[in-house]
C-alpha cells in the first residue's frame, strides 16, 4: 500500500481553535479510543478536544500541512 | 458609598436560598479571590442561590450549572452581562452582548484574526516584547509587576492586531484601566467614551486609507449583506480593547503572585520547562478571573427553583475549575494534573473566548521567558497586594523583589 500524499485524506491535520491542539489523522487519538488512520469524518461528533474540551466543530483543517 | 442597595427577596425566592453576597465588595482573604468566593458559595449547600445585592440576582455554583447557563441561549441572554443597579451608557460590546443568530457573523470577523495560525505570528512579537521588558528591569532587582509588565504585553499585542501606533500606548493603557476600574460608573463611562472616540477616529482613518489590520478588515466587512454600522463597529473595537487587555493583565498578576509565593512550583518549572504548557493550563484552571452574568430570557427551572424572565443570574467561571466533582483537590496547584485545560476559565457556549489561543500564548511566553531570566523572586516584604474586582478580578499592584546577582 502506498502512503497517501500530504493533505490527502489519511494525512490531514485539524487544529483546535481555542488551544491549538492538533488532531492528526495518521495518529488518531488512541487515548479516546480513536485508532491511527481514522479520517476526520469518522471521528465521532461528540468527541472533544483532549486538552481543552472544545467541540469537534471547533477544529479547522490545517491547510498548510 | 457602596453602589448596591439591598432589596428584599421576591416571593418566589425561598428563604433558605438567600445569601449575603456582594460581588463588588466581599472580603477577600489575602489574594485568594477565587477560593474565598468558592467558600462563601459553599457555605450554603443549595445548588442555586440568590443574593439581594446589586439589584438582586441568582447564583449558580457548580460546573454543570455554570456550563448550562453559558450554553443555553434560549433561556439565558447576553444582552446584560453584569449584575448592577447602575446604568451602563455604552454601546453593547459586539459580539459579546449579541445572542444567536446575530452573534455569529460578527464573531466570524474576529475569529480569522485570532486563529491559531494568526496567533503564531503574534506570539513571536509577544516573545520579543516580553524579553525586552524583562531585560529592561531584571538587573534592578525589583519591579512593579502589573505596571511594568502585565499591562504592557497585552496592550502592545492588541495594538499590533489593530495596527495602532506604538506612541499611543501610554494613553490607551491609562484610559483602558480607568474604563475597567475607575471609582464610579460615571468615571468608567467617561473613560469608555474616550476609548470609543479614539476607536472611531481610527475607523475614519482606515475607511479613508485601509491597511492589513483588523480595524480595516472590520471596516470593509459586510454583515447580513451590508457594511457594519458605526454603532456595532464601535462596540466591537471597545470589546477588543477591554476583552484583550485587562483579562490577560489580571491573569498574569495571579500567575506572578502564585509563583512569587511558591518556591517549589517555581523550581519545578525552571528545572522542567517541558511542564510549562500543562502548568499554564493548571494556573488558568486555578485562577479564573471572569465573573459572567446573563439575563434570564424565558423562565427556567433548576433544582426546583424558577428563575424568571428578566432576572439576572451570575455564572462565576471559578466555580467550574474549582469544583471538586470535576477536579480532585481543586485548590491545590499541581503542574502534573491530568487535563487541567478542560475548564470554563474562557467561558463556554457560543461566546467562549475568541482570544483564548492568544491569551494562552501570551501567558505561556511569560512563564518561559521570565523563569529563564528571573528564576527566584518574592513579593516585596511589607507590601500587601490587594484584589479589586468588577466583572474581572485583578491584582492592582504587585511589588516583586529578587537578588540581582541571581538573574540569568
Ligand atoms: C486570560 C485571558 C482571558 C480570559 C480569562 C478571557 C475570558 C473570556 C470569557 C470568560 C469570555 C466569555 C464571556 C461571556 O460569555 O460573557 C470571553 C469572551 C471574549 N474574549 Fe476573552 N479572555 C481572555 C483573553 C482575551 C483576549 C486576549 C482577547 C482578544 C484579543 C479576548 C477577546 C474576547 C472576545 C472578543 C470575546 C467575546 C466573544 C463572543 O462574544 O463571541 N479575550 N473571554
Ligand atoms: Zn482545544
- Residue B183 lies inside a defined structural domain of this protein: yes
Interface test with A, best of B119, B279, B327, B357 (most A CBs within 10 A): B357
Give the domain CATH number at B54: 1.10.630.10
For residue B3, pLDDT over 50 is answered with: no
| Alpha-carbon span B251 to B121, nearest angstrom | 22
Q: Is the peptide bond before B138 cis (omega within 30 degrees of 0)?
A: no
- Residue B61 lies inside a defined structural domain of this protein: yes
- Tens-place pLDDT, residues B22-72: 999 999 999 999 999 999 999 999 999 999 999 999 999 999 999 999 999
Beta bridge partner(s), residue B400 = B143, B379
Look at chain B and report how many structural domains it folds into.
1
- Residue B283 lies inside a defined structural domain of this protein: yes
Average pLDDT of span B323-336: 98
- Tens-place pLDDT, residues A5-61: 667 888 999 999 999 999 999 999 999 999 999 999 999 999 999 999 999 999 999
DSSP string of B65-98? HHHHHHH-TTTEESS--S--SS---SPPPTTTTP
Q: Of B353, B365, B390, which is best to mutate to test ligand 1, by the most ligand atoms within 8 angstroms of its C-beta?
A: B353
- Residue B31 lies inside a defined structural domain of this protein: yes
> How many angstroms separate the alpha carbon of residue A7 from the centre of ligand 2?
21
Q: Up-side HSE of residue B121: CA atoms within 13 Å toward CB?
A: 8
Mean pLDDT of chain B: 92
- Residue B7 lies inside a defined structural domain of this protein: no
Residue B87 burial class via C-beta count within 10 angstroms: exposed 0-12, middle 13-18, buried 19 and up: exposed
Domain that holds residue B373: 15-406
Q: Any residues with Cβ below 6 Å from ligand 1, and which?
A: B 70, 78, 81, 95-96, 107, 110, 114, 239-240, 243-244, 247-248, 251, 289-290, 292, 317, 345-347, 351, 353-355, 358-359
Average pLDDT of span B153-159: 87
- Residue B202 lies inside a defined structural domain of this protein: yes
Of residues B297 and B244, the one with the higher pLDDT is: B297
Nearest atom (ligand 1) to Cα of B352: 12
pLDDT computed for residue B7 by the predictor: 54
Global ipTM: 0.91
- Residue B222 lies inside a defined structural domain of this protein: yes
- Tens-place pLDDT, residues B191-210: 988 988 898 898 899 999 99
B342 with A20: Cβ contact below 8 A:
no
- Residue B4 lies inside a defined structural domain of this protein: no
Q: Which residue's CA is the closest to the ligand 1 atom numbered 38? A: B351
Amino acid at each position: 500500500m502506498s502512503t497517501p500524499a500530504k493533505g490527502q485524506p489519511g494525512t490531514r491535520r485539524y487544529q483546535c481553535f481555542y488551544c491549538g491542539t492538533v488532531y492528526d489523522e495518521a495518529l488518531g487519538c488512541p487515548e479516546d479510543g480513536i485508532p491511527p488512520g481514522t479520517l476526520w469524518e469518522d471521528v465521532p461528533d461528540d468527541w472533544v478536544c483532549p486538552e481543552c474540551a472544545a467541540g469537534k466543530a471547533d477544529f479547522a483543517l490545517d491547510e498548510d500541512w | 458609598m457602596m453602589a448596591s442597595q439591598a432589596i428584599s427577596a421576591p416571593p418566589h425566592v425561598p428563604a433558605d436560598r438567600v445569601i449575603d453576597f456582594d460581588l463588588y465588595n466581599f472580603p477577600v482573604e489575602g489574594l485568594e479571590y477565587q477560593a474565598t468566593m468558592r467558600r462563601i458559595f459553599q457555605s450554603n449547600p443549595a445548588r442555586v442561590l440568590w443574593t439581594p445585592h446589586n439589584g438582586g440576582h441568582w447564583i449558580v455554583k457548580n460546573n454543570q450549572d455554570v456550563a448550562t447557563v453559558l450554553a443555553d441561549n434560549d433561556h439565558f441572554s447576553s444582552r446584560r452581562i453584569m449584575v448592577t443597579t447602575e446604568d451602563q451608557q455604552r454601546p453593547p460590546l459586539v459580539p459579546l452582548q449579541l445572542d444567536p443568530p446575530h452573534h455569529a457573523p460578527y464573531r466570524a470577523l474576529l475569529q480569522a484574526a485570532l486563529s491559531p495560525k494568526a496567533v503564531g505570528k503574534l506570539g513571536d512579537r509577544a516573545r520579543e516584547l516580553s524579553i525586552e521588558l524583562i531585560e529592561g528591569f531584571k538587573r534592578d532587582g525589583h519591579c512593579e509587576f502589573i505596571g511594568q509588565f502585565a499591562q504592557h504585553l497585552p496592550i502592545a499585542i492588541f495594538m499590533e492586531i489593530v495596527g495602532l501606533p506604538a506612541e499611543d500606548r501610554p494613553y490607551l493603557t491609562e484610559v483602558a484601566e480607568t474604563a475597567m476600574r475607575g471609582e464610579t460608573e460615571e468615571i468608567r463611562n467617561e473613560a469608555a467614551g474616550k476609548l470609543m472616540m479614539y476607536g472611531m477616529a481610527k475607523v475614519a482613518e482606515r475607511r479613508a486609507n485601509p491597511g492589513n489590520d483588523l480595524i480595516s478588515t472590520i471596516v470593509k466587512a459586510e454583515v447580513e449583506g451590508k457594511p457594519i454600522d458605526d454603532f456595532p463597529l464601535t462596540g466591537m473595537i471597545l470589546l477588543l480593547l477591554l476583552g484583550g487587555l485587562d483579562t490577560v493583565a489580571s491573569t498574569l498578576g495571579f500567575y506572578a503572585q502564585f509563583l512569587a509565593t511558591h518556591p517549589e512550583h517555581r523550581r519545578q518549572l525552571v528545572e522542567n520547562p517541558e511542564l510549562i504548557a500543562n502548568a499554564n493550563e493548571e494556573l488558568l484552571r486555578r485562577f479564573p478571573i471572569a465573573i459572567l452574568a446573563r439575563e434570564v430570557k424565558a423562565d427556567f427551572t433548576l433544582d426546583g427553583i424558577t428563575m424568571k424572565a428578566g432576572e439576572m443570574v451570575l455564572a462565576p467561571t471559578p466555580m467550574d475549575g474549582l469544583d471538586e466533582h470535576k477536579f480532585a483537590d481543586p485548590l491545590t496547584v499541581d503542574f502534573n494534573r491530568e487535563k487541567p485545560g478542560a475548564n470554563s476559565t474562557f467561558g463556554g457556549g457560543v461566546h467562549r473566548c475568541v482570544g483564548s489561543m492568544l491569551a494562552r500564548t501570551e501567558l505561556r511566553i511569560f512563564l518561559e521567558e521570565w523563569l529563564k531570566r528571573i528564576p527566584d523572586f518574592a513579593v516585596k516584604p511589607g507590601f500587601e497586594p490587594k484584589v479589586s474586582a468588577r466583572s474581572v478580578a485583578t491584582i492592582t499592584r504587585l511589588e516583586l523583589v529578587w537578588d540581582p546577582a541571581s538573574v540569568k
